[in-house]
Amino acid sequence: MRKKIVAGNWKMNKTAEEALSLVSEIDNMVKDEVNDDVTVIVTPPFPFLQSVSKLTQGNDKLHLAAQDVSEHESGAYTGEVSAAMLKSVGVEYVLVGHSERRLYHHEDAQKLYQKMKAALKHGLKPIFCCGEPLEERDADRHFEYVGQQLKDSVSYLSNEEFDQIVIAYEPIWAIGTGKTASAEQAQEMHAYIREQLSQMFDAEAAFNCTILYGGSCNPGNAQEIFSKEDVDGGLIGGASLKSRDFTDIIKSF
């Protein structure tokens, strides 16, 4: 059985106080309302990781992710945060290759591969994000585009490294736009991703890989999307900033 995950990506939102109150609300709701078989992850901005980790460490139901990691080990990289630093404050997962980082910070495939390597070396689990822009979908090249993203970064991992990663399919046209992929569009892309992964690694490893959907997921559409065979959960942006909405999404399984 592969792991079901719902991860909230807070992006650049919340102050210290707001972050703590959001995570404690989520913690309480998840404790009371959510089945044990879903792994719930929160992804606050860097400055709040350590305080949030007081609630997630030793907590079976709530886990901590960072939004980014440096590909470098340590040294003169002003503004960067290393995998060892993240590990030392209790982070377990890290987003790699979110479309906003690819676009605004020009992170290319090679860098994303190196970021995954750095994370894995320190025992962090990368959540590798992929997804096509609208022009690629309109031109019917979305499968090819996402396949290439996997090939350019993920395919270079070893089998053991691949076992540690999570994939998030996030069509760029659906992120923060209120325009979700239909459950059918999500399913067909997830099945395609799994097929590509089975060619790069092996069928069993690909079968066991958790593949999340992201892009305007909300309490109203999560159930239908999560019901699809190859959709193993979600990466939630906007709706993860409200504890009630986020918990309702988690309960959609």
Binding site for ligand PGA (CB under 6 A): 9, 170, 175-176, 214-217, 235-239
Positions marked catalytic: 98, 170
Sequence-separated (6 or more) residues with CB below 8 Å from residue 227:
183
How near is the Cβ of 43 to ligand PGA at its closest, in Å?
9
- State which residue, 201 or 215, has the beta carbon closest to ligand PGA: 215
How near is the Cβ of 224 to ligand PGA at its closest, in Å?
16
- State which residue, 19 or 239, has the beta carbon closest to ligand PGA: 239
How near is the Cβ of 202 to ligand PGA at its closest, in Å?
29
- State which residue, 233 or 238, has the beta carbon closest to ligand PGA: 238
Residue nearest to ligand PGA (CB): 237
DSSP H helices, the chain, are 16-33, 49-56, 83-88, 99-104, 109-121, 134-138, 142-153, 159-162, 183-200, 203-208, 222-226, 243-250
First CA to last CA distance, the chain: 15
